[in-house]
Each structure stands twice: as structure tokens, then as C-alpha cells.
Structure 1
Amino acid sequence: MGRNLTPRREPLSPLRYPGGKALLAAYVSGVLEENYLSGCTLFEPFAGGASVSLELLRLGFVAETVMVERDPLVYAFWHSVFNDTDALCAAIEACPVTLDTWKLLQPAREVDDPAQTEYTTLQLGIAGLFFNRTNFSGIIGAGPIGGESQSSNYKIDCRFNKAKVIRQIRTVAAFAPRVQIHFGDAIQFLQASAETLATSFSFVYVDPPYYAQGKKLYRHSYTDADHVALATFLRDQGYPWLLSYDDHPRIRELYAFNQLQLQPIYLDYKVKSNRRAQELVISNLVIPPPVYDGDLSQQASLALAQ
């Protein structure tokens, strides 16, 4: 049966992420429970804000999580959270949240590989967090909140509550012994982990870039060919996996093959739109319908799409 979904008062993830999936974690926990996968190792090959991994760790539905991230700044942030927590928090305290800092950090956005740069991982991690908290909609490749003129009522520091961010970092850093973070391409990592996934008690949660708006939201977005490659890859995998996507006709076409479960859901958040986002959850497992409490217009919940 579906899991009753109630949002947490404060998200675990310190990152503001376009299409963040904190609300989906309770649904995924129900999928794990329904399929006798509680206590498994969760693989999240498109980590992003890592909301699902973190919440499932908190809830105790997974024993550990393996996260993969292609954006070097996002990867460096998570690496710093779990491996250099004190230094990261100290750097946040000391960092002026100003347009001058934003300009000073611009060269970090040109880094493509954290292993091939003069920046340390910690420096890249600070840059990733800074852009995430000070850019429009949390998009690392976007401009600063308030614009470079800072003439808006909303200034560059309006989404950067240092005390809250540090509190979130220290909370999730407690999961460090149960977290692995890797830099790289999602499909390549899953291919390299094929034997582990086939022989271990594992579950893969796949949250790729949106099909329709991916280019606007992510620095490492997918082309149509990339989306095709992912669908082709997942079709041949026998280990349990679940995929979340924007509800786009092309995605329905790509995943219209046998023995897949497809569930339309509503996620009550806004992504460059004034409408509730309808998404698809697709899996090779039995997936239950989502359950919600109360009026969808008043609660951040999941509901069956009409």
C-alpha cells in the first residue's frame, strides 16, 4: 500500500536544488518496504541535492548510500561535508556573502574535473555552496539573486542563512560512515559497479536531469541521445531500480517497454512555473500509488495525478 507522506519542517540537504526530491523520500521508503528492500545499500547516481539519500538514511530505510555527482562543484561540496566538516563550516562562517565574493569565485565555475585544477576540493566545495545559495533558484550556472546591480528587494544574501546551513551540514555529516561520494558520469559508474549491484543487497534511485527544462536548470544537462542511452541502459538491468522524471511525452515513449511500473505523481513545488509539477516514477519493481493528507492546495504532499 502507499505511504502516507508528510514533509519535514526543515530539509536535511543544505543545497537549494531545482526539482529537489525531499518530498519523494517517503514514497521511496514505501517502495523499499513493499519490495522487502529495507536495510539495503542505496545507489544515487545523480546525487544533486541528495535529498532522497539523506532522508532514507535518517529514516533508517537504507544501511548506507553511494552517491555519484557529475558537477565538480556539487561533488566537492558533498565531499567536504562528509570528509572535511569542520573546515567547511569554518569557511562558511568566514565567507562574506557579497557580490564581490561572487565575482571572486567565478573561475571556479570553469573547473570541469576536481582532480585537474589548482583549487582544493574544499575551495571548490565552498564555491559550489556559495553559488547554490546566492544564485537564482539555486542554479550554479545562473546569475546572482538581485542581479549584478543588486537593485532588487531580494539581495544576494537572502537565501544564505549561515547558521541554518551549518546546522544542516553538521546534521548530515553524522552520516559520514555510511556515505560514499564519487565524481563522475552516472551510467559509467553504474557500468563499473555492475558486479556489486548484481550480487549485493542494493537499490538504485535514478533522478536524471529533466527532459524539458534540463538545459536551463543544470550545468551538465542531457541531450535527447543521453536520455535514450539511459533508458536503453536501465532496460537491461536486473537489479531493483526506480527512476523519477518530468512527465514528458518523450519520456513516456522511452520507457514504454514491458514489465515496467509507471506512476504519475504530483510534487508540490515550483520549478520555473506557477503550477504544481507533475512527474513520473518508473520502476522495474512493484510501486504503490502515493497517498496524501488533506487539501493539495494547502499541503506539500504527493497525490495521484488525475
Structure 2
Amino acid sequence: MSRIASPLRYPGGKSSIFKMVSRIIEHNNLNNGYYAEPYAGGAGLALSLLFSGNVNKIYLNDIDRSIWSFWYSILNHTEEFIDRIREVEITLDEWYCQKHIQENKMTENELDLGFSSFFLNRTNRSGIILKAGPIGGFKQNGNYDIDCRFNKENLIKRILKVVAHKNQIELHNLDATQFITLLDKKLTQNNGLFCIDPPYYEKGESLYTNFYKPNDHSLLANSIRKLSRPWILTYDNSKKIKALYNEFEKYNFNLSYSAADKKKGTELLIINRNIKVPVEMKMEILFDIEE
């Protein structure tokens, strides 16, 4: 299964743990069920699981209006969005225009904002929409040009593949805790998994538009404890987070960071009591927590 399922590049994206999550789903007999992400972002993992047939419905949520507008636009204004991709010039002048739209995100319409998010995601360093400059720099004298991540035909194909599964995708624009509570009550299908990937505890402010303060992490933990359905949680390897989820089973795993220099970092996998981890996966992928 190709790991490049999403049209977006996303810092901290979890598409690289497709194998790990798909094995957890299979081992716990959760195949062909729902899959929910309170922090969808680039949704690479969710889309990979849907495209591969591991799950039959995905629920995507993101409180960031910029990200939500992208997903809303490709699902509901597909032709207009694709026309804009074909017609847009990938230049610094256009970058400034799209940046201006992004800076007025709360008053822009969904299509304009969604396309701005897409354009900046594909032309900014590491895909960071607001807090990064263009690939190649403002003088375009870097090793790469601003358009190096903007292969129009390839991106259109990715978008059309997402749209082909439109009836299996439900989109929300809620606070993560509200989304968790809502879905926990409304789902009629018992078979499925919540995969919760919050903003990092450490350095979150440098990566995310909607970064969390310590109290936000605590509120999320309280919401997760009330969740009656199977869930897994991924976090940066922070002592504060280990303490916050002290009563749950935890493992470390390695992840290649997309917003760094292709480096690998150690992350936390936290699982609820209803989830069983395959023994062979513990040996191959996961390793015990070092206190």
C-alpha cells in the first residue's frame, strides 16, 4: 500500500505507521469498521486504511478552518478546485496572494481558503502553512524551487481518488474533545477504532497553528478516559504525557519526521484496555518505555 495517499504534506503526519495500525486493527478484529481521527490534518493514515480496505468508513475532524476547508472543498467543489490547480501559476507573486487569504481565514469562503491551504502546503517548507516561508526562499536561490512539490497532474489524481470514496468519508470541524464525545454517542457501528494524534506536548507551538497548552492536554486526557470505544493514542515522547496517561499501557516506536531533516524520533503509543497488541509487533516495531 502506497503511503502517499493524501494530497497534503503534513508535519508529524502518521501515514508512515500504516503497517502498525493496520495490524492492530486486524489483530483486534476491527476490520471493515469505522476509523475516526479527531486531529485529521493531512489524513494520510486514514486514507491509506480506507483505500486498502482495512476500514469501510472514516470520520475526519480538524478544528483548524484552513485544513477543514481544504477537505470540504475537494469533496464538495471538486471541479472548481481542480480547475484552480490547473490554472494557477506557481510563483512568488501567487504565494503572496495565497498567504493574504490565509491571514484572513475566518472571513474567507471555504473554496478560497481551502485552495490557499493547499497551495501553501505544497509550496512552503515542510508543508507548514502559516509559520514557514516558501521552498527556495524569498529570493528563490535555494536548492529547490517553489514548485518542486507541486506536480499538478499527480496531485489531481490524489484528489480524485479521495473524491471517489466520498460516500465513505464524514467530515467535521469541531474541537477534538467535542468530536470524540459526539461520535462516541452517535455511532451505531460498534466495530472500529479511534486513532488520536494530538499536537505534540513539546515544541507543539512551532509545528501547529492550533497548538495545545498543558491544560488542553489534560482536558483531552479526561475526554479520552470517558471514551467507551476502542482507541489508540500517539504522542511525542514526553514525561508529562507518560504521567498523564500513567494507568494505560504504553510503548515507544520510531517515526520519521516530515518536518525535520528526514530524522527518526521516538514516539509514544498509548492504548486503551480493550486493545491487544500482537506479540510479534512488540518484537518488530515497538519497544518498552525507558523511564
TM-score, with normalisation over the residues of structure 2? 0.90
Q: Distance in 2 between matches of 1:278 and 1:137?
A: 19
- The corresponding residue for 2:111 is 122
Q: Secondary structure at the residue paired with 2:46?
A: helix
- The corresponding residue for 2:93 is 100
Matches within 5 A, 1:14-53: 14-53=7-46
Taking a change above 3 Å as real, the CA distance of residues 271 and 305 of structure 1, as seen in their structure-2 partners, is: farther
Q: CA deviation at 1:268?
A: 3.3
Q: Distance in 1 between matches of 2:101 and 2:135?
A: 18
Q: Distance in 1 between matches of 2:92 and 2:26?
A: 47
1:139 aligns with 2:128: yes
Taking a change above 3 Å as real, the CA distance of residues 270 and 51 of structure 1, as seen in their structure-2 partners, is: closer
Structure 2 unmatched ranges of 5 or more:
none
- The corresponding residue for 1:4 is none
- The corresponding residue for 2:232 is 242
Q: CA deviation at 1:137?
A: 0.5
| Cα deviations by residue, 1:207-247 (Å, 9 ceiling, x for unpaired) | 11111121111111111111111112212222111111111
Amino acid at match of 1:82: L
- The corresponding residue for 1:180 is 170
C-alpha contact (below 8 Å) 1:197/1:239 kept by paired residues: no
1:207 aligns with 2:190: no
C-alpha contact (below 8 Å) 1:133/1:159 kept by paired residues: yes
Q: CA deviation at 1:279?
A: 0.9
Q: Distance in 1 between matches of 2:8 and 2:225?
A: 31
1:167 aligns with 2:160: no
Q: Secondary structure at the residue paired with 1:105?
A: helix
Q: CA deviation at 1:254?
A: 1.0
Q: Secondary structure at the residue paired with 1:304?
A: coil
Q: Distance in 2 between matches of 1:105 and 1:207?
A: 28
Aligned pairs, number: 285
C-alpha contact (below 8 Å) 1:77/1:128 kept by paired residues: yes
C-alpha contact (below 8 Å) 2:255/2:265 kept by paired residues: yes
Q: Secondary structure at the residue paired with 2:71?
A: helix
1:227 to 217, 223, 232: 217
| Cα deviations by residue, 1:224-279 (Å, 9 ceiling, x for unpaired) | 1111111122122221111111111111111111xx22121112345425631111
Q: Distance in 2 between matches of 1:64 and 1:111?
A: 33
Q: Distance in 1 between matches of 2:67 and 2:258?
A: 22
Q: CA deviation at 1:23?
A: 1.7
Taking a change above 3 Å as real, the CA distance of residues 44 and 270 of structure 1, as seen in their structure-2 partners, is: closer
TM-score, with normalisation over the residues of structure 1? 0.86
Give the number of the structure whose residues are more often helix, by fraction.
2
Q: CA deviation at 1:159?
A: 1.3
Amino acid at match of 1:126: F
Q: CA deviation at 1:111?
A: 3.8
C-alpha contact (below 8 Å) 1:198/1:239 kept by paired residues: no
- The corresponding residue for 1:280 is 268
- The corresponding residue for 2:241 is 251
Q: Distance in 1 between matches of 2:280 and 2:8?
A: 25
- What is the percent sequence identity of the aligned residues? 37
- Between stretches 134-143 and 27-36, larger displacement belongs to 27-36
- The corresponding residue for 2:206 is 216
Taking a change above 3 Å as real, the CA distance of residues 195 and 36 of structure 1, as seen in their structure-2 partners, is: same
Q: CA deviation at 1:290?
A: 6.8
Taking a change above 3 Å as real, the CA distance of residues 274 and 88 of structure 1, as seen in their structure-2 partners, is: closer
| Cα deviations by residue, 1:100-121 (Å, 9 ceiling, x for unpaired) | 01111223223454xxx2x331
Q: Distance in 2 between matches of 1:150 and 1:290?
A: 48
Q: Secondary structure at the residue paired with 1:67?
A: strand
Amino acid at match of 1:120: N
Q: CA deviation at 1:197?
A: 4.3
1:55 to 28, 48, 53: 48
